[in-house]
Structure 1
Amino acid sequence: MAAPTNTYTSTAAVGNREDLADVIYRISPTETPLLSLAERVTAEATLHEWQTQALAAPADNAQAEGDDATADPVIPTVRLGNRTQIARKTARVSGTQQEVNTAGRKKELAYQVSLKSLEMKRDMELGLTQNNVASTSPRRSRGMVGWMDAANVDAGAGYVAPNYITNVAQTDGTARAFTEAMLKNVAQKIYTSGGNPNTLMLGPTQKQTFSTFLGNSTRFDEGEDKKVVAATDIYVTDFGALKAIPNRIQRPRDAFVIENDKVAVAYLRPMQKTPLAKTGDSEAVMILAEYALENRAPLAHGGILDLL
């Protein structure tokens, strides 16, 4: 039905203020599970190194009374290392944009710096979880996939394990469906190797598959709130409990079984913000960090790899 003649409507009016909410809604996720889980330590050179120590295997140890003591073989430490990687983001905003009245933020440059900082953390999470090898031009840190030891993985046909001593990346195998038997297999391998893992980190699709496993799992009961909870959060293996943490950023084909205190991120330069020299009618800030993944004991971790 039409409005009466000469009714002044909003479509003809001049001067109506726009209705723009003073809030900006961000859809992109900002969680960085591995970066958050790992201990933060200090690096002092671009080649960050550490040592691991193994003990002699248990042996039948019965000695003759009065026998002379002889020296036992010494097991030397193993020296491991990783290259620090420089991550950088830059925000630049014109002088005009800094002064106009903006919705959802007070100053454009500060807002853009906050966004770039979040983006860089996501970039770092990606690097920490990938099949990278340590390199020098540009420097690149070996990611978690590159630290998988052949003794502690369950992988598809054609898989070739990485070599973190000679700095060779892994060769991916044929993808296959994630099963509970694979998880149990890796848990047993890590325990046999001496590890005591407590975290299972995996992609969203694999997390849903994991929640269908029928083993010794724990689901939270929220009956008072009349909620149906179908997700498995804790999986109790024969060798300890694993907390399942979904990770949107890691490769979907990888699931990591991690001993938390055996992984760290070493910072040569922690995340910092530096104003750049003004060269015209704009302002710029550089966000930078230099870091390396420190896998303190590769045999403490494992992987279910080549997953669909």
Structure 2
Amino acid sequence: MAALANTFLTTQAVGNREELSDVVSRITPEDTPIYSLIEKGKCVSVHPEWETDDLAAPAENIKTEGDEYSFGAITPPERMGNYTQIMRKDWIISATQEIVSEAGNVQKRKYQKLKKGVELRKDVEFAIVDTNASVAGATREFGSLNTWIKTNVSRGAGGANGGFNTSTGLTVAPTNGTQRAFTKAIMDNVMQQGFQNGANFRHVSVSPHVKSVFVTFMSDANVAPFRYAVSKGGERNTIIATADYYEGPFGTVMIHPNRVQAASAGLARNAFFLDTDMLEFLWLRKIQEDKDVAKTGDADKGVIIGEGTLKVKNEKGLGVAADLFGLTAAS
């Protein structure tokens, strides 16, 4: 029924106050699985270097009684390095906006500083799981995880491994092969390669879709039945359709769904097998606010900046299942 004649409505009012909540809901996830798992260190140059070495392969060792000694040649360790990458987030807010009352204060310096710091941390994770080779020079870039691994690898047809090039001192980006679905056989293959080469895989970082595919492995005929204990007297029944650990013939790993790897098909196509003892992130300049930004107008400027690189102590302790359908069952 319509309102009576001359009823004064809110649509006619000019002085009603607006209502805008002071609570700001930020749903964007902040987790950075690989960066959070690995050790953090410090470097003092834009090109930190290190050496890697391996034991000789086991061989038959039988000597004759009274035999004269012979001395084998020493194989020198490989010298490797990565370049530091500068990462930055910035903002500018007018001096008036900084001082006026605002719902949620999301357009204030304090909030922006916190937000940009979180964004920068996620950019570090992105750079780790990206497929970019290292770059020297003024616009430096560190070689991502995928550009180091060449030993424990499963790739689609036509793909080629990257790796560290001792001649150039740079990593080489791998080339994509034919995409395929993630399977238990692929997982076991990478873990077996790693086991035979001395790796101790403890974690696997995958896109959310690949994690959902991993969960289906428990229905494989060669996997022990999945059981779940329910306390007596429970009023609700629960469908259990998840798994976080895989205990296979060559070790136990925890599967981490990495939301950063869902940022693009290029990132989602790789599942990284990690021995976190073989990785370290070295900071030349830890993420910090630049206090020396010059004030040149009636505005507040802010910069969050950091510079660091990924140290791969020995790529044989890592692995990758590449060329997977990482976003959907067909992409």
Asked if Structure 1 and Structure 2 have the same fold, meaning a TM-score greater than 0.5 normalized by the shorter chain, the answer is yes
1:222/1:100 Cα in 2 relative to 1: closer, same or farther (>3 Å)? farther
How big is the alpha-carbon RMSD for the aligned residues of Structure 1 and Structure 2? Answer: 2.1
* Structure 1 counterpart of 2:316, from 277, 280, 299: 299
1:131/1:222 Cα in 2 relative to 1: closer, same or farther (>3 Å)? farther
1:212/1:114 Cα in 2 relative to 1: closer, same or farther (>3 Å)? same
Q: Distance in 2 between matches of 1:10 and 1:235?
A: 61
Q: Between Structure 1 and Structure 2, how many residues are aligned?
A: 307
Note the 1:189-204 alignment, pairs <5 A. 189-204=193-208
Note the 1:1-308 alignment, pairs <5 A. 1-105=1-105, 108-137=108-137, 138-149=139-150, 151-166=151-166, 167-214=171-218, 221=228, 223=230, 226-250=237-261, 251-275=267-291, 276-308=293-325
- Which letter does structure 1 place at the counterpart of 2:303? M
1:295/1:94 Cα in 2 relative to 1: closer, same or farther (>3 Å)? same
Cα offset, 1:217, TM superposition: 7.8
Q: Distance in 2 between matches of 1:143 and 1:82?
A: 10
Q: Distance in 1 between matches of 2:225 and 2:253?
A: 10
1:121/1:8 Cα in 2 relative to 1: closer, same or farther (>3 Å)? same
List per-residue Cα deviations over 1:163-190 (Å, max 9, x = no partner): 3125321111111111110000000001
Q: Distance in 2 between matches of 1:62 and 1:9?
A: 102
Q: Distance in 2 between matches of 1:135 and 1:217?
A: 47
Which stretch of the first structure deviates more once superposed, 231-240 or 215-224?
215-224
1:100/1:221 Cα in 2 relative to 1: closer, same or farther (>3 Å)? farther
- Which letter does structure 1 place at the counterpart of 2:241? A
Q: Distance in 2 between matches of 1:114 and 1:293?
A: 24
SS in 2 for 1:140: coil
SS in 2 for 1:83: coil
List per-residue Cα deviations over 1:202-260 (Å, max 9, x = no partner): 00111111110136589795846754331210001211101000112221111011111
Q: Is the 8 A contact 1:129 1:143 kept in 2?
A: yes
Cα offset, 1:20, TM superposition: 1.3
- Which letter does structure 1 place at the counterpart of 2:249? D
Q: Is the 8 A contact 1:217 1:232 kept in 2?
A: no
Matched residues, percent identical? 36
Which stretch of the first structure deviates more once superposed, 157-166 or 245-254?
157-166
Q: Which TM-score applies when normalising by structure 1?
A: 0.93
Q: Distance in 1 between matches of 2:303 and 2:47?
A: 24
Which stretch of the first structure deviates more once superposed, 232-241 or 166-175?
166-175
Q: Distance in 1 between matches of 2:106 and 2:135?
A: 41
1:144/1:100 Cα in 2 relative to 1: closer, same or farther (>3 Å)? same
Q: Is the 8 A contact 2:83 2:142 kept in 1?
A: yes
- Which letter does structure 1 place at the counterpart of 2:307? E
- Which letter does structure 2 place at the counterpart of 1:262? M
Which ranges of structure 2 fall in alignment gaps of 5 or more residues? 262-266, 326-331
List per-residue Cα deviations over 1:126-155 (Å, max 9, x = no partner): 111111111124100000110111x31110
SS in 2 for 1:288: strand
- Which letter does structure 2 place at the counterpart of 1:52? T
Q: Is the 8 A contact 2:132 2:147 kept in 1?
A: yes
Q: Which TM-score applies when normalising by structure 2?
A: 0.87
Q: Is the 8 A contact 2:149 2:161 kept in 1?
A: yes
Which ranges of structure 1 fall in alignment gaps of 5 or more residues? none
Q: Is the 8 A contact 2:148 2:172 kept in 1?
A: no
Cα offset, 1:297, TM superposition: 0.9
SS in 2 for 1:26: coil
**Counterpart for residue 264 of structure 2:** none
Q: Is the 8 A contact 1:55 1:75 kept in 2?
A: no
Q: Distance in 1 between matches of 2:178 and 2:67?
A: 57
Q: Is the 8 A contact 1:87 1:290 kept in 2?
A: yes
